[in-house]
A and B are shown apart, each in its own frame.
Chain A
Amino acid sequence: MATPQIQSVPSLWARLQEKSIEQLHIRLESIVVLVGLAAIMAILSPFFLSVSNFMNILLATSTIGVLAIAATFVLSSGGLDLSIGSVLGLSGVVGAAFAVNLGMPTPIAVLATIGAGALAGLVNGWVITRGFVPAFIVTLGMLGIARGLALVISDGRVIYGLPDWMLFLGQGRPFGIPMPVIILIIVAIIMHIVLAYTRYGRHTLAIGDNENAARTAGINVEFHRLTLYTLSGGLAGLAGLLFATRINSGDPTAGITYELTAITAAIIGGTNLFGGRGSILGTMIGAMIMGVLQNGLNLLAVQSYYQQMAIGCVLVLAVFIDQFQQRQETKV
């Protein structure tokens, strides 16, 4: 019996999407959302479209951006790191304590800041891969431990007065561009290359995709995971450095709920919550979306309590849309 053949010609959108994902590792929807959101904000607030506000957005995005890179690596490997916000706070306090209380020179204080984060991440990774405790539990525990430790080290007080060279990292403006923005861009480019084009990055995605396949291919899955959590902690430490040097102090309460924003940014950027897919360029778009959203709500004088709610809603909505699309694709 002859049934009419339905020729499915991929739409222009589908073809663009495929190119975009293959070449840039970005999902087109996220760009559309970013542009649409910016357009709405520009209509609602006359201050939105200005060079100085643009710099503000980038500056505010820099800390979250670095954390979101950490979240992307861990999520796309099928893991989860809930401790990055707390580790950010701990690192900032450690760095400030080294520089102010101990009077250490800037390079050592900087290394201590990032090192404290990496160490917390190493502990996470060690317990997860050697103790076989689920990442959710280990990093949730670290969320509490790192925050508590930050309060213990600082005695619950903000440590003020960082040395000038450290301040340059947070407040310097070479060529009129804030240093944290420059650092974020450099880190993002490097980490994009690592995730998309190196064996380390490809293995990260493969582990998140099918751990067993990675293992049969000869990849040392446990060791790889250990390095990923250490990397995540180290990036949280870098974010702590950017945050502390921007506000000129080690604040033990810095970064509370930042893991929420960072994970949201990674997921709207196209990272698969269950692993196997992720891109740093996509995550940067996601971080910009979060930055524009927060900046716009600030300009519209929306109370920060509501902003928390907005971010939570965006996270659930982003995962809902992703799951919805996947169900559409696999529907029988």
Chain B
Amino acid sequence: MSLLDLSGIEKSFGSVSVLHGVDLTVGAGEVIGLVGDNGAGKSTLMKIVTGMYQADRGSITLEGDNILELTPGERRARGIEMIYQDLALAKQQDVASNIFLGREPTRRVLGMSLVDRRKMKLDAQKMIDRLGAKLPAITRPVGSFSGGQQQSVAIARALTFNPKIVIMDEPTAALAVREVQSVLDLIRQLKSQGIGVILISHRLNDVLSVTDRIIVLRQGRAAANLLTKETTMPDIVSAIVGGGDVMVAAAHEAQG
């Protein structure tokens, strides 16, 4: 039984049909690369997994249980975490508030259940240190951080609550070379802990170096399902662009 199982997912926004029947499975400890052109529907598909969007048709199961009816909060509680492309951070709040948003630890004071700020700060600092992220101060509003620092906060938020599956939508887009490597190391570490990972990235070299399987979305369908170790850059590129100027595009990617 796979960890996450999507089948026949269809989604349209008004008259614009984005996904028509996508199948995808992720096993425990498996790293899946999800690639495709801009607008291919990668983010849409993943938001359907987290419950931010409702699928028009299709089924989603987590460890065999149907989760289609669950709210985003309930799916998160079941262990589905996502790092969103737009990061989805509350910019005026500090690091701890963002990492623990929706799951603040509480303690009882005079019969009232109050947020345990101290525990939040300590745990947030621990998580940031574990990621090796460099933040100016965790008490600052995250809006004052650089793009890469904000990305670290978003990653920390996804990893703090022992997820079963982590979806990363362009997690390295704003990161410097060294930070990109640490995210890739992190993905390998998650894999070794038996956590399923879906990595969405336009950096095909990263995808090739860290994934077990690569799914290519094209025209609303999973156009290819490739085993990474049997796959080369030109295979992926041709699956993404679907014929045409494959040679030119592949040559360009090979240089990068």
Contacts and interface: CB of A to CB of B under 8 A. Distances in A.
A209 B92 contact: yes
A199 B104 contact: yes
Given A199-B104, A217-B101, A276 B115 contact: no
Interface stretch (B106-114, B128-136, B222-230): B106-114
B87 to A, nearest CB: 8
Given A216-B84, A218-B76, A203 B102 contact: yes
A-B pairs with lowest CB-CB distance, top 7: A218-B73, A217-B102, A209-B90, A276-B92, A217-B101, A213-B88, A197-B114
Interface string A194-216: 00011100110110011011111
Nearest to B87: A213
Interface of A: 22, 193, 197-199, 202-203, 205-206, 209-210, 212-220, 272, 276-277
A94 B104 CA distance: 40
Given A193-B112, A220-B71, A276-B92, 11 more contacts: A197-B117, A199-B106, A206-B97, A210-B88, A212-B88, A213-B101, A217-B76, A218-B73, A218-B76, A218-B77, A276-B90
Contacts of A205: 90, 92-93
A11 B124 CA distance: 28
Query: Chain A's interface: helix, strand, loop or mixed, by majority?
Result: helix
Contacts of B71: 218, 220
A216 B90 contact: no
Nearest to B75: A218
B247 interface: no
Nearest to A209: B90
A197 B113 CA distance: 9
Interface residues of B, number: 31
Contacts of A209: 90-93
11 contacts: A197-B114, A198-B112, A199-B113, A203-B101, A205-B90, A205-B93, A209-B91, A209-B93, A210-B89, A218-B72, A276-B93
Contacts of B73: 217-220
B242 to A, nearest CB: 32
B92 A213 contact: no
Contacts of B90: 205-206, 209-210, 213-214, 276
Contacts of B114: 193, 197-198
A276 B89 CA distance: 12
A72 to B, nearest CB: 15
B92 A214 contact: no
A16 to B, nearest CB: 15
A205 B141 CA distance: 13
